[in-house]
A and B are shown apart, each in its own frame.
Chain A
Amino acid sequence: MPGKKKIGMVVSILLVGGALGYLALGNFGENVVYFFTPSEVKAFTTDYYQKKVRVGGMVVEGSMETYPDRLGLTFQLTDGEATIPVTFEGIPPDLFKEGQGAVVEGYWTGEHRFESNLIMAKHSEDYMPIELKRAGVELPRKDFMKSLVE
């Protein structure tokens, strides 16, 4: 009986450890659709139209335009391969700006425009003093899309 118990314990530890390990390390994180990339959005079938989805990408430099009369803006979101236009209603978060990453939530319309009502700006995890930044120092940057996922 104690031998049986020991085997049971080892099997249990393997099961729990395996499941948790699969969750943490396995390729599970990669096929998680936490957000789509612009190239995936472009390839959407009609199934996905008008479904609330999240898209993550980099705001294209110089693409941001504000409306003079009401709150809201339009910009382009890119993942390096494809670029989609996004319209947004509301006040953007303080950290939102061109050249930074952002995750937007909203609907992909049939007219190939992304209508968003929520921007989640990521303030990047890079911290450095302003003098260094002006001197053009870049910290060892990670892969951009990867830094969004984690």
Chain B
Amino acid sequence: MTSFNVIRWIVWKDFVTELRSRETISSMVFFALIVILIFSFSFSMDQQAAREVIAGIMWVAFAFTGIIGLGKSFSTELQNDCLEALQMVPEAKGAIYLGKVAANFAFMFLVEILLFPMFVILFNLEVVEEISLLLLVFFLATVGLSAIGTLFSALTVQIRAREVMLPILLLPLVVPVMIAAVEATKGALNGDPLAMYEQWLELLVIYDVVFTVVSFWMFEFVMDS
């Protein structure tokens, strides 16, 4: 099981690097806090109004912090040309992809878990009942974002203007994730009956499956000429 080993080592390396430098997660959290702050300036909200727009604000914050994390994920590989070493790994590239997806997913999910209480406190939400459903939505949407985001992070890191191109290429492609995540989050926060938004959960599952598989194969062509 060498490919499983590769996955494990990639995740290990990303975690140790992150633990020692704390660059990615701290910048993600800080950026998200600024987003929350700016949104709280631009909307003066009572609780009812907050419920309408909070899901959108939340996912805007999550998506942009996620893009910061995804961009970092491969741009750290550029120091000392480590990317070349990854490209020269004899194993199939899919293992590297899965390792990177796992690491990126973990970082993004961790940041979302850290930020969610902030939203609850700052926007006066009541969520105690629906917390497990919300976590499920976060989980599914983050899998989708990191699956396709990892592919494009690896792609854009090898071109000019990479910081600009990652969101330009990624955001149109994750439109379904954003719509589904926002609608499902809104439903859960409103305490709507599950029947009203379970379709969005199914859409997220479909998206996750499709893009994990497609990106897995495409990653080979990103890393390998």
Using a CB–CB distance below 8 Å, which chain A residues touch chain B?
A: 5, 9, 12, 15-16, 19-20, 22-23, 28, 31-33, 47-48, 51, 53
Is A19 a contact partner of B206 (Cβ separation < 8 A)?
yes
A48 to chain B: closest residue by CB: B193
Residue numbers in A under 8 Å from B209 (CB-CB)? 15-16, 19
> B67-107 toward A: CB 8 Å interface, digit per residue (1/0)?
00000000000000000000000001000000000000000
Which residues of B137-188 have CB atoms within 8 Å of chain A's CB atoms?
none
Contact between chains at B199 and A19 (CB < 8 Å): no
Query: When A12-B213, A16-B213, A51-B190 are in contact, do A33 and B206 touch as well, CB less than 8 Å?
Result: no
Q: Tell yes or no: B45 within 8 A of A by CB.
A: no
B195 within 8 A of A: yes
Partner of B196, one of A15, A16, A33: A33
**Chain A residues positioned under 8 Å from B210 (CB to CB):** 15-16, 19-20
Given contacts A16-B210, A19-B209, A20-B210, contact A31 B216 (CB under 8 A): no
Chain A CB within 8 A of B202 CB: yes
Q: How far is the CA of A31 from the CA of B198 in the complex (A)?
A: 10
| B217 close to A (CB within 8 Å) | yes
By size class, the interface of chain B is 10 to 19
Distance in angstroms between the alpha carbons of A15 and B207 in the assembled complex:
11
Min CB distance A21 to B, Å, is 10
* Chain B 39-77 interface residues, beta-carbon cutoff 8 Å to A: none
Which of chain B's residues has its CB closest to A29's CB? B199
Q: CB-CB < 8 A to B217: which residues of A?
A: 9, 12
Nearest Cβ on chain B to A136's Cβ, whole angstroms = 40
In contact, A23 and B206 (Cβ under 8 angstroms): yes
Q: List 19 A-B contacts (CB under 8 A).
A: A5-B92, A12-B217, A15-B209, A15-B213, A16-B209, A16-B213, A16-B214, A19-B210, A20-B210, A22-B206, A23-B203, A28-B199, A31-B199, A32-B199, A33-B196, A33-B199, A51-B190, A51-B196, A53-B196
B126 within 8 Å of A (CB atoms): no
A9–B214 alpha-carbon span in the complex (Å): 10
Nearest to B212 among chain A residues (CB) is A15
Chain B residues, Cβ within 8 Å of A15? 209-210, 213
